[in-house]
Every structure is written in C-alpha cells, then in structure tokens.
Amino acid sequence: MRASLLRSMAGKLPIKTSPHVEAWNANREAYEQTFQWTPGNLAGTVVFCVAIPTGIYQLIKAEFNAVNDYQGIPRRVMP
C-alpha cells in the first residue's frame, strides 16, 4: 500500500472515523448554502444585532447622564 493512501495519526496508528462526526462536519462546511431564514432565525438576529446593542447603548447613555447630573455638568447631546 502506498504511503500517500494510508491515513494515520501520530505514531502511524490507523484513523477510525465516525460517520456521525463526518456528517456533522459536512453539514457545517455547507451551512451557508443550506441556510434558510425562519421566524426563529430572524428573531434571534434582531435580538442579537439590534436589541442587545441598543440596550447597552442606552445603559451607557444613562450612566453618562447620571454622572453629569451628579456633578452639575450639562447633559451631553447624544443621539
């Protein structure tokens, strides 16, 4: 048997592949071709791309305004 056809790991031990892992890896590699938008995907995208960043921004803005109010500094104009 030619050395290029023999699949082995460290120590020249034979590789024993799992069909479940190979199928999962094939699906993972082709995910961008098989992806479909569903209501669940859309909801998750809106939450993680819009709602969470907006909430973080509002918390930061409120903290700046609270510090400015405490120190007697006029509030900053933030969009």
Residue 43 lies in a domain: yes
Residue 2 lies in a domain: no
Supply the pLDDT for residue 78: 83
Residues 6+ apart with CB under 8 A from 64: 76, 78
Residue 1 lies in a domain: no
Walk along the chain (79 residues) and give the pLDDT tens digit of each residue: 455 556 666 777 778 889 999 999 999 999 999 999 999 999 999 999 999 999 999 999 999 999 999 999 999 888 7
> Which DSSP string do the residues of 41-70 spell out, in sequence order?
HHHHHHIIIIIHHHHHHHHHHHHHHHHHHH
pTM of the full predicted structure? Answer: 0.61
Residue 63 lies in a domain: yes
Residue 70 lies in a domain: yes
